[in-house]
Chains A and B, each alone.
Chain A
Amino acid sequence: MTTSTNYYSLVASLPYMPRWFDVDEVPISRIRLEQRLKMLGERDKSVVEQVQGFLHWDRQESERTDEDVQREYTRLMNSIANRLVRDIINHRMDIRTVTCALRRRRLSLEPPSAVGQYVSHIQKNWQHPDFRLAREHTWIPRVSKHLESNQPLDVERELLTATWNRWVKLADNFHFSFETILLYLARWEIVDRWTRLDAAPGRQRFDRLLAQTLESDGDVA
């Protein structure tokens, strides 16, 4: 492993990332992607590991309490300096928080206490249909509607679309840089997540999460 990364070689070695995540398979297998990432320099490698660790944590099925999420969020924010990585984490956490709030309100529970910039805003606007966040997050009304109609796959699609669009927009600003690689990984993760989903397991997961929430007295973030 070298100390610096040759971004031109690494970026050019990665297959084209489709403009939309709704495809049949990932553009590059996980094994091959890991092989390509061996071209990373030491410093970049550690940042990429942080991002991959977070994305892995983010996609795990949750039995976490608000305190667990807050602890993980604080740990990440204390250990990560890269602005784009912080942005990736903050964006995902915001989506988790808003989605969690929608689910809790539907179950007549209290607003979430973790995590990120919208916690107090949601508490203040708890009765508003979109928590007065629809201008920044246009997906909220659609997700709310899909939640009401028990459409877990549509909920997942909306949430992934919101994240995907943000990464695509950001990726257009970078060409042969570390940010290009981070955004490639973030989008790869979404494609991988989507290609592993189908309607039946999605519904089972939704039902399981709902049951967990009810059993744990609404302490799930």
Chain B
Amino acid sequence: METFVILSLGWAGIFLPTALGAIGSIVGCARAGQAASGALLDVEGGYGRLVGASALPSSQTIYGIVVTMQLNRVVTIEASPGLFAVGLLVGLALIFSAILQGSCCASAINTTKSKPEVFGLAIAPAAIVEGFAVFAFIFAMIVGGGIPGGPAN
């Protein structure tokens, strides 16, 4: 039974980055997308920029997929704790960054509709949040490389 639980956690660890990243992207893109849709009612142009900004939180799903591919290997008792720990922690970083990046994008969209010239500055906080997701992603790749088993074929 104990072995089953440990192996299950290992399998969960492999898929958690994709699952949590995707959940974060869903919420983040939905928030920003709703703001973009609302803003369309109040602007006369620049629609593409508003809708484009709402897609920024989708990158966390891509990071999650790449980490999942890096962690994917034959799940053993030795590898499971590492897989679970890395998968869960990077997944949490991705979910929070995606959700909060969505809020940043929504604020940027709301600001940009009345002051289009500040779009670059308004979107900067979203880019900064993205930077932290990239840090988590890169170090998950590095740490994941040290987990016993190596990537599966």
A binds B: yes
Interface residues of A (CB under 8 A from B): 6, 8-16, 36, 175-176
A6:B42 contact, CB within 8 angstroms: no
A12:B114 contact, CB within 8 angstroms: no
Contact of A8 with B114 at beta-carbon distance under 8 Å, contacts A14-B42, A15-B42, A176-B103 already known: no
How many residues of chain B are within 8 Å of chain A by beta carbon? 18
In whole Å, how far is B139's beta carbon from the nearest beta carbon of chain A? 31
Residues in B with CB closer than 8 Å to A176 are 31, 35, 103, 106, 110
Count chain A CB atoms within 10 A of each CB in B32, B36, B41, B113 and give the residue with the most.
B41
The listed residue (A8, A13, A14) touching B106 by CB distance below 8 A is A8
B106:A16 contact, CB within 8 angstroms: no
Whole-angstrom CA separation of A176 from B31 in the bound complex: 10
In whole Å, how far is A155's beta carbon from the nearest beta carbon of chain B? 32
B42:A13 contact, CB within 8 angstroms: yes
Residues in B with CB closer than 8 Å to A8 are 31-32, 34-35, 38, 106
In whole Å, how far is B79's beta carbon from the nearest beta carbon of chain A? 42
Contact of A11 with B114 at beta-carbon distance under 8 Å, contacts A6-B34, A175-B103, A176-B31 already known: no
* In the complex, residue of chain B having the shortest beta-carbon distance to the beta carbon of A12: B38
Contact of A15 with B38 at beta-carbon distance under 8 Å, contacts A8-B106, A176-B31, A176-B106 already known: no
* In the complex, residue of chain B having the shortest beta-carbon distance to the beta carbon of A39: B38
Count chain B CB atoms within 10 A of each CB in A6, A13, A15, A176 and give the residue with the most.
A13
Residues in A with CB closer than 8 Å to B8 are none
Offer 8 A-B interface pairs, CB within 8 angstroms, sorted by A.
A8-B31, A8-B34, A12-B38, A12-B42, A12-B110, A13-B42, A36-B41, A175-B106
Residues in B with CB closer than 8 Å to A13 are 38-39, 41-42
B103:A10 contact, CB within 8 angstroms: no
The listed residue (B32, B36, B110, B115) touching A11 by CB distance below 8 A is B110
Whole-angstrom CA separation of A189 from B82 in the bound complex: 59
A12:B36 contact, CB within 8 angstroms: yes
Please name the 6 residue pairs, one residue from A and one from B, whose CB atoms are nearest each other, closest first: A12-B38, A9-B38, A16-B114, A8-B34, A13-B38, A12-B35
The listed residue (B34, B103, B115) touching A12 by CB distance below 8 A is B34
Whole-angstrom CA separation of A10 from B52 in the bound complex: 19
CB within 8 Å of A: which B64-121 residues: 103, 106-107, 109-110, 113-115
